[in-house]
Structure 1
Amino acid sequence: MQSNNIRSLVFIALFAALFIIMSSLTIKFGGSFVPITLQTLAVILAGLFQTPRNAFLSIFVVIVLAAFGLPLFSGAGGITHLIGHTGGFIFAFPFCALLVSLAVGAYLRSSVSKGNKMIAFIAFFVIFELFSSLSAYVTGIPWLMHVLDFSFQKAMTVGFYPFIIGDALKSLVGAILAVSLTPYIVYIRSSTASLSRQQTSYKA
């Protein structure tokens, strides 16, 4: 149990670090209020390789550390940044990672996942597009409207439409990796999931 616990902590730290690195790769264009980053790709990978609990924690721990002032989001941190105009996206990311992991787990356990790589590719792409990208806009756009006093159309113009192609490309990369590394993904997820099963049975 101790080795599994250490393994889980290592993966949480690894994907937290990956999220921080990908948050620092920022592109701003024109008068955009929302920068282009690789955060959603980090969310995809966290949910792909980890159990739902660990996927959530690997992103959430970054938010907690940033709340204490560490500059983990493109050199910015602190409560002020977290509740700024991109706060709706930031706080959505742990839940997006959780949803990705749940959906990936359900797919890998299904009979549909066996054999056909094209079906697997499409399934992974849809999972990533829905739960790592589009789900973040559910809270991101309303919060952008609230903080900047934007209309819905204005918020969509600066916070959604410019990112559609980029989100699709990140989901595409995630799907390619998922299909290529499926055996490793299954092994890593099962090795860390065994810890949760052991803890559950122990508490029972």
Structure 2
Amino acid sequence: MQTRSIRSLVFIALFAALFIVMSSLTIKLGGSFVPITLQTLAVALTGLFLTPRNAFISIAAVIVLTAFGLPLFSGQGGIATLTGHTAGYIFAFPFCALFVSLAVGGFLRPDSGKRNKYAALIGFFIIFELFSSLFAYIPGIPWLMHITGFSLPEALIAGFYPFLIGDALKSFAAAALAISLTPYIIHIRASAAQPKTDKASYTA
């Protein structure tokens, strides 16, 4: 069990670092409060490889460290970052990773290798597009409206429409990677999952 816990911590830290790196790669659109980043791709990959609990912790840990002032979101940190224009998106990301992982866990079954690859690609794409991208806009847009005073159409123009094509491309990239690495993904997720026999062995 100790080895399993250490392995989980390593993967949590690894994907937290991946999220930080991809957060630092930004393109700022003129007049927009929301930059283009690879954060949603990192969220998709975190949910793809990690169990739901570990996926949530991995992204949430970055938010906690940011609250202590570390510049982990596009080179910015502190409470101001976590209450700024992009706060709604930021706080959605741990839940995005959680929901991606839950959906992937249901999608990856023992017969996954026999599934038609095109159908699998579409399935993964839908999972990533829904949960790593579109779900983040549910709190992201209302918070942007609250901070800026934008109307809904204005907030959609500033924080939604410009990112749709990029989100789709990132979801497709994650789906293609998922197809290529399915056996490894299943192995990594299984290696971090606590077996049911563990609890019995400690209570016996």
Bucket of the pairwise TM-score, normalised by the shorter protein:
over 0.9
1:87 has 2:91 as partner: no
Write the mapping of 1:61-76 to structure 2, written as runs, cut at 5 A.
61-76=61-76
TM superposition shift of 1:80:
1.1
Match of 1:191 in 2: 191
- CA gap 1:30/1:123 in 2 versus in 1, 3 angstroms: same
Query: Which amino acid in 1 is paired with 2:167?
Result: D
Query: Which amino acid in 1 is paired with 2:137?
Result: Y
TM superposition shift of 1:115:
2.6
Match of 1:134 in 2: 134
TM superposition shift of 1:198:
5.3
Q: In structure 2, what is the Cα distance between the partners aligned to 1:112 and 1:2?
A: 30
TM superposition shift of 1:138:
0.3
1:48 has 2:48 as partner: yes
TM-score, structure 2 normalization: 0.95
1:172 has 2:172 as partner: yes
- CA gap 1:116/1:5 in 2 versus in 1, 3 angstroms: same
Match of 1:152 in 2: 152
TM superposition shift of 1:197:
3.8
Indicate conservation of the 8 Å contact 1:96/1:136, yes or no. Answer: yes
Indicate conservation of the 8 Å contact 1:107/1:113, yes or no. Answer: no
Q: In structure 2, what is the Cα distance between the partners aligned to 1:200 and 1:163?
A: 45
Q: In structure 1, what is the Cα distance between the partners aligned to 2:90 and 2:149?
A: 19
RMSD: 1.6
Indicate conservation of the 8 Å contact 1:55/1:101, yes or no. Answer: yes
- CA gap 1:121/1:203 in 2 versus in 1, 3 angstroms: farther
- CA gap 1:203/1:117 in 2 versus in 1, 3 angstroms: farther
Q: In structure 2, what is the Cα distance between the partners aligned to 1:196 and 1:54?
A: 15
- CA gap 1:196/1:140 in 2 versus in 1, 3 angstroms: farther
- CA gap 1:200/1:90 in 2 versus in 1, 3 angstroms: farther
TM superposition shift of 1:74:
1.2
**Residue segments in structure 2 that go unaligned for 5+ positions in a row:** none
- CA gap 1:185/1:112 in 2 versus in 1, 3 angstroms: closer
TM-score, structure 1 normalization: 0.95
Q: In structure 1, what is the Cα distance between the partners aligned to 2:199 and 2:43?
A: 26
Q: In structure 2, what is the Cα distance between the partners aligned to 1:197 and 1:147?
A: 46
Q: In structure 1, what is the Cα distance between the partners aligned to 2:188 and 2:155?
A: 39
SS in 2 for 1:27: coil
CA deviations on 1:121-143 (whole Å, 9 max, x unpaired) are 00000000000000000000000
- CA gap 1:196/1:148 in 2 versus in 1, 3 angstroms: farther
Indicate conservation of the 8 Å contact 1:128/1:171, yes or no. Answer: yes
Q: In structure 1, what is the Cα distance between the partners aligned to 2:127 and 2:60?
A: 21
TM superposition shift of 1:29:
1.8
Detail structure 1 runs of 4+ shifted over 3 Å in the superposition.
110-114, 196-204
Indicate conservation of the 8 Å contact 1:23/1:38, yes or no. Answer: yes
